Structure 1
Amino acid sequence: MRIFDAPDYLQLSFRSDLNFLVARWLRPVTGAETREGYQLILEAARQCSCPYWLLDGRRRLPADAETTRWGLEEFFPRLAELLGQTVYLSQLLSPSYQQLTDALPAFYTAEHDRQRTYQMRRFNDETTAVQWLQQVQRPH
């Protein structure tokens, strides 16, 4: 396992045995910290050439509307271009956080839009989140 330097709100590692990047948000974060954190995750993914990400957001709160828009409309859509391949985002959320995202049409669109350049799924069980990442790796 490779551990990356990160601020106090993020734990970032590459699990070579599972071939995925693990990003654990360790506390509630601001919009600026969210953006900085995702840039750090992207840099780690570049260093490992890893398009499979487990994003553990169970300890954080949902992002504000502008940060959510930035992620879904600007950051995530550019990942394939920046990494040179489709990126698979397995988001691990608390049940209440997942309920909030379920109510936002932007997340439904992000998961079901056939034109998107990344694949995203949301889970509140880590085993299921990991299984999905393993499943999407099989054809590749």
Structure 2
Amino acid sequence: MQDFGLEITPRPDLPALVARWQREISVPELKAGFFAILDAADAMDCGRWLLDLRRREELTTPEVTAWVNADFFPKLPRRYAEPVRIAFLVSPMRAQQEHSGSSVATISGTQRPDQGFATGLFTDEAAAYRWLAG
């Protein structure tokens, strides 16, 4: 499936859902893409997601960070049989960049004990899949 500059691929063999942004996107496309991922995950009953951000620049702003934390992440706990695990895949160069309070690294690295979901930041796709399986 491709929409919002996003290709969503179910991977029942892993099991995981892989979402890859294919181009630069706007904030409304980012939000719509997150809900498209959620719809696809609901259809698969799958709480393991790999979000590949390597083909686009940092789009995270304080407003996007607030939206993710206040509106999107709260939809995840107890949604599936197992807690949601989201692996954010970024380029090594982007992972080394200084992190602001609104960077993907900050969003993905925030510890969420007892919130019913986990996030992680990865530069290696195989490592991300291993973490998702854990």
Normalising by structure 1, report the TM-score.
0.80
Distance 1:10 1:55, change over 3 A: same
Please tell me whether the aligned partners of residues 79 and 87 of structure 1 are also in contact (alpha carbons under 8 angstroms): yes
Structure 1 residue ranges without an equivalent (≥5): none
Per the alignment, residue 14 of structure 2 pairs with: 18
Secondary structure (helix, strand or coil) at the match of 2:46 reads coil
User: Which AA in structure 2 matches 1:128?
Assistant: A
Give the CA deviation at 1:61.
Answer: 1.8
Q: 1:59 aligns with which of 52, 55, 59?
A: 55
**Is contact 1:8–1:26 with CA below 8 Å preserved after alignment?**
no
Name whichever structure is richer in helix by fraction: 1
Matched, 1:90 2:92: no
> Quick one: distance in 2 between partners of 1:86 and 1:104?
25
1:125 is matched by which residue type in structure 2? D
Question: Aligned pair in 2 of structure 1 residues 17, 121: CA closer, same or farther (>3 Å)?
Answer: same
In 1, are the aligned partners of 2:27 and 2:64 still within 8 Å (CA)? yes
Q: Is the 8 A contact 2:22 2:55 kept in 1?
A: yes
Q: CA RMSD in A?
A: 2.3
**Aligned equivalents of 1:109, 1:20: Cα separation in 2:** 18
Tell me if the contact between 2:4 and 2:32 (Cα under 8 Å) persists in the aligned partners: no
* Separation of aligned partners in 2, 1:103 and 1:125: 22
Structure 1 residues 116 and 86: CA distance shift in structure 2, 3 A: same
The 5 Å alignment of 1:1-140 reads 5-7=1-3, 9-62=5-58, 63-83=60-80, 85-100=82-97, 102-104=99-101, 107=106, 111-134=110-133, 136=134
Cα–Cα, structure 1 residues 100 and 83, in superposed 2: closer, same or farther, change >3 Å? Answer: farther
8 Å CA contact 2:21–2:52 kept in 1: the answer is yes
C-alpha distance in 2, partners of 1:116/1:76? 9
Aligned to 1:54, what secondary structure does the other structure show?
strand
What is the percentage of aligned positions where both structures have the same residue?
A: 32
Shift of 1:73: 2.6
CA 1:109–1:20: 2 relative to 1, 3 Å: closer
Unaligned runs of 5+ in 2: none
What is the CA–CA distance in structure 2 between the aligned matches of 1:34 and 1:83, rounded to whole Å?
23
